Structure 1
């Protein structure tokens, strides 16, 4: 069941963004229990920015990677990029026109959107949007705590698709999280309505760690801790194969390098789910969360190296919970995927390690989920002209 409102002191969204981010670390506390088959999690690490006005669709169209359709009420996944094409923020965009919230707050027939982003970098995103707003005719603001909360709900025995918008009714804000199969729904709910949703979803409330573990098992990064700003191309973070980029839309900030990489470049590094295990043991055959596994302390950002004499770097551990996590991996060195004409040098006997804080090595094995394997393009074969 969803938790009842508490008497905790009020913290506004602007103050929350000034707090230093402290992502969950399985190395400093006991690993959490496995996520339930069906559950709902309040995503306290996400916030919402409202855009409302006649030029809001045009403004968003010029800044984000996905296509904004003013006549559509379907939400979608996208990203804000820098001019050179690096990721600034990964976001979800919710059209609000026709929803109860829009009618109560905006009170007009002009188009509106809610942009869901990392709460700890909300001020940076708001500043980025204000810099490009200029004289565009729309209102821009950061929602305060208590207006709407972001929830993720899932059911293992139910398959939601992109054609299922994910809301409880036509007037509730929500969408289907199509980044990977089984990610469930995202819902934007005011605190007053959260008590009645549990019976509709038939799901109990789960901690944020349950949502995080489910993401890691599917290889889905999220937020500034896992997608550092101005550090990676959207393809490296799987934003392209998670449905966050429309390669047929018009110009937007960062489009030039993105479209060129898509058509002519080779994406050698991608985010993959990884399993951690004691280095003296054999690598696991399948990706499985095991909270009772004893591992040394490993910091996020630690280099993944080949377990041989040369210890060559093959990737980086992005984040972990217990024995699972996300790694930025060189595909042809840590998996059997072939993305270039050079071919994969990986063999099933290859082993990889990260160094723990105590100096001991921890084994790492990357896994390629079926959904990701089916979306990574094979290299184009160049025909030889005789």
Structure 2
């Protein structure tokens, strides 16, 4: 079964283990009908685990005539919105050299991330989209943490993160009418009958994220358990927060033993009628 609908060319998803926990988060791009002759699916993932994902995919190949290969000749670019206030309904970037673009799709997770562009690593992005300013990777990750968007194994530790606590539904990364998939039982049961008591939320911190340990315990001012810290940069980060304490000031211990205060916020791109906000 083709996971892509007729009008969908980019799709976000999590690869789960049999316990229903996230192994890797990925974005899939359909290359069907590409004018350059490419045919198939491109898989975007955290580059630090690309070999592990390749091995995992080959386990499920069985006797299918499917080939897997890395694409070192391609470059991925995130086209961030210049003005967050004008993001909704943002039109497609003005491309001046369409023949150099393999993929140009709106980020399937949320409009606040902008667009994803894939081209040959030999191409200069300024030759493709002239009205842009080339930034760096740190700017991209800072933007992610500012809007509360998880990505990669630091934010979603393999075998630890649960997809629904990681806001997979809010990022259009799951269908509850299609199956079957590994880890479906726990995920579907939690969605239909369970209660999500914790969510991955953006936090602002009183100390640089680099001084905090991944998995450090969060507490309320009264000492009650409130979740775990995940990752971040500068004063921005993501933490798995108990929703019952999400509006309270929180604290944790830094790697040097200092007390750090945190404040969680609800991202703008979450649905406004969510029952667990």
Q: In the alignment, is the contact (CA less than 8 A) between 1:166 and 1:175 conserved in 2? A: no
Query: Structure 1 pair 161/260, CA: closer, same or farther in 2 (3 Å)?
Result: farther
Alignment partners' CA distance in 1, 2:237 and 2:195: 25
Aligned residue in 1 for 2:252: 354
| Alignment partner of 2:122 out of 192, 203, 206 | 192
Alignment partners' CA distance in 2, 1:167 and 1:123: 35
Report the structure number with the largest CA radius of gyration: 1
| Alignment partner of 2:270 out of 372, 376, 379 | 372
Query: Structure 1 pair 93/154, CA: closer, same or farther in 2 (3 Å)?
Result: same
| Pairwise CA distance, 1:358 | 2.3
| Pairwise CA distance, 1:259 | 1.4
Q: Give 5+ residue unaligned stretches, structure 2.
A: none
1:135 partnered with 2:49? no
Aligned residue in 2 for 1:299: 213
**Equivalent residue runs for 1:276-291 within 5 Å:** 276-277=205-206
Aligned residue in 1 for 2:9: 74
| Alignment partner of 1:116 out of 35, 41, 44 | 44
| Pairwise CA distance, 1:136 | 1.0
Structure 1 SS opposite 2:175: coil
1:254 partnered with 2:183? yes
| Alignment partner of 1:323 out of 225, 231, 235 | 235
**Equivalent residue runs for 1:142-221 within 5 Å:** 142-143=70-71, 145=72, 147-157=73-83, 158-159=86-87, 161=89, 168=95, 169=98, 172-194=102-124, 195-199=126-130, 202-221=131-150
Once the two structures are superposed, what CA deviation does each residue of 1:194-247 show, in whole Å capped at 9, x if it has no partner? Answer: 240240xx1111111111111111111000111011112211111111110111
Aligned residue in 1 for 2:22: 87
Q: In the alignment, is the contact (CA less than 8 A) between 2:209 and 2:236 conserved in 1? A: no
Alignment partners' CA distance in 2, 1:74 and 1:203: 23
Q: In the alignment, is the contact (CA less than 8 A) between 2:170 and 2:271 conserved in 1? A: no
Q: After the TM superposition, which of the residue ranges 215-224 and 253-262 deviates more from structure 2?
A: 253-262
Structure 1 SS opposite 2:69: strand
Q: In the alignment, is the contact (CA less than 8 A) between 2:231 and 2:237 conserved in 1? A: yes
Q: Give 5+ residue unaligned stretches, structure 1.
A: 1-57, 62-66, 279-293, 336-349, 380-386
Alignment partners' CA distance in 2, 1:243 and 1:320: 23
Alignment partners' CA distance in 2, 1:333 and 1:250: 34
Q: In the alignment, is the contact (CA less than 8 A) between 2:16 and 2:24 conserved in 1? A: yes
Alignment partners' CA distance in 1, 2:142 and 2:28: 23
The TM-score, its normalising length taken from structure 2, stands at: 0.88
Structure 2 SS opposite 1:370: coil
| Pairwise CA distance, 1:166 | 6.7
Larger RCO (CA under 8 A, 6+ residues apart): 1
Structure 2 SS opposite 1:252: coil
Alignment partners' CA distance in 2, 1:72 and 1:182: 20
Alignment partners' CA distance in 1, 2:94 and 2:184: 31
Alignment partners' CA distance in 2, 1:131 and 1:268: 34
Q: In the alignment, is the contact (CA less than 8 A) between 1:198 and 1:204 conserved in 2? A: no
What value does the CA root-mean-square deviation take over the aligned residues?
2.5
Q: After the TM superposition, which of the residue ranges 254-263 and 119-128 deviates more from structure 2?
A: 254-263
Aligned residue in 2 for 1:363: 261
